[in-house]
């Protein structure tokens, strides 16, 4: 498949994934969902699953599969939607999100049969596990890569930097992390909660750093991820991707009120209308 066809294919997956996110979140009723942080990273996750990673839903425990870790586990909707569109999780499970005895928990719960590599959600803890996976692969001489999505607010956690420095020390060039810089966290804007220079910190930790100015653009994400995937230069790789919180839903974009919470029937209908309009090439604004 040539690059343009691949970009088009990934783009179609992002449309389906956004719809899945809305359907799952609405099905959760009053329990709500983390819509904003999931919708911001749809293109990141879709490009990993459908453009870059080596995996097979027919053989979920394939030893040579690339590993994926959603460190910002509250964005589980993005993760589950990728697994649904990749056929790890049946679509008829969508209404089970946050249901009793459902595998679709509010935060990912390890279930490799369905493509869920590890449990995550306590911010800062998924990324060190991803680094551990990469270190184990190096130790065992395995050739797979590890891909990890980290939140910009999550980078306030000290454990992120301890793990980052350890990864650089061990020359883990088989891990690619993407920081989803959507500019918000639970309590407000990241720049107001704790302003940090991500470029400087990741470089100081010893990582190869690249930046994507529009992380909601599939082509930009694909180029950056492929470059990082192919660079075996003794350095772990991080991509700083600027995204839009709640991307694709007019009333959710850059709206902290939809970091987490339920949506009512009217909001659900508006979200679906926004997605249909975008699918036809319209502007949701």
Pairing mode, strands 188-189 and 184-185: antiparallel
User: Which option is the CATH number for 3-279: 2.40.110.10, 3.40.50.1820, 3.40.50.970, 3.40.50.300?
Assistant: 3.40.50.970
pLDDT interval class at 72 (50, 70, 90) = very high
Residue 283 has a pLDDT of 60
Residue 98 phi/psi, 5-degree rounding, is 65, 15
pLDDT at 43 over 80: yes
Give me 79's structure tokens.
Answer: 């993760």
Nearest to 45 by CA among 4, 16, 25, 65: 16
Mean pLDDT of 250-270: 97
Mean pLDDT of 238-251: 98
Residue 282 has a pLDDT of 60
DSSP 3-state assignment of 239? strand
pLDDT interval class at 89 (50, 70, 90) = very high
Assign 3-state DSSP to the chain and report helix, strand, coil percentages, each to 5.
50, 15, 40
Average pLDDT, the chain: 96
Mean pLDDT of 83-110: 97
b/e per residue 214-249 (b: at least 16 CB within 10 A): ebbbbbbbbbbbeebbeeeeebbbbbbbbbbbbbbb
Q: For residues 34 and 51, give the distance between their C-alpha atoms in angstroms, rounded to a whole number.
A: 25
pLDDT at 284 over 60: no
Q: Which residue is listed with tokens 């249901």?
A: 99
Residue 279 has a pLDDT of 85
pLDDT at 53 over 70: yes
- Dihedral of CA atoms 2, 10, 91, 21 in degrees, nearest 10, equals 180
| Span 123-160, pLDDT tens digits | 999 999 999 999 999 999 999 999 999 999 999 999 99
- Share of residues in the chain with pLDDT > 90 (%): 96
pLDDT at 192 over 60: yes
Nearest to 267 by CA among 251, 246, 283: 251
Length in residues, the chain: 285
pTM, two decimal places:
0.97
Q: For residues 193 and 184, give the distance between their C-alpha atoms in angstroms, rounded to a whole number.
A: 9
Nearest to 11 by CA among 211, 248, 253, 224: 248
pLDDT interval class at 229 (50, 70, 90) = very high
């Amino acid at each position: 498949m040539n690059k343009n066809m691949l970009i088009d294919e990934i783009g179609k997956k992002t449309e389906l994934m956004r719809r899945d996110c809305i359907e799952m979140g609405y099905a959760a009723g009053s329990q709500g969902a983390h819509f904003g942080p999931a919708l911001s990273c749809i293109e990141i996750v879709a490009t990993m699953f459908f453009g870059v990673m080596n995996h097979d839903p027919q053989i979920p425990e394939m030893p040579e599969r690339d590993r994926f870790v959603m460190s910002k586990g509250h964005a589980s909707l993005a993760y589950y939607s990728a697994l649904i569109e990749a056929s790890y999780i049946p679509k008829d499970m969508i209404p089970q999100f946050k249901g009793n005895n459902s595998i679709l928990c509010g935060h990912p719960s390890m279930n490799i049969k369905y493509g869920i590599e590890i449990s995550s959600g306590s911010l800062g803890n998924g990324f060190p596990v991803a680094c551990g996976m990469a270190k184990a692969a190096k130790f065992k001489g395995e050739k797979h890569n590890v891909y990890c999505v980290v939140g910009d607010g999550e980078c306030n956690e000290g454990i992120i930097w301890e793990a980052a420095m350890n990864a650089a020390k061990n020359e883990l060039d088989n891990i690619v992390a993407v920081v989803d810089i959507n500019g918000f966290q639970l309590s407000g804007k990241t720049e107001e909660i704790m302003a940090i220079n991500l470029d400087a910190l990741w470089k100081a930790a010893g990582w190869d750093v690249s930046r994507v100015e529009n992380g909601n653009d599939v082509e930009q994400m694909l180029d950056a991820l492929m470059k990082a995937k192919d660079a075996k230069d003794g350095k772990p790789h991080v991509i700083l991707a600027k995204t839009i919180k709640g991307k694709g839903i007019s009333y959710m974009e850059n709206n902290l009120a939809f970091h987490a919470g339920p949506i009512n029937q009217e909001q659900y209908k508006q979200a679906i209308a926004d997605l249909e309009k975008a699918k036809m090439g319209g502007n949701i604004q």
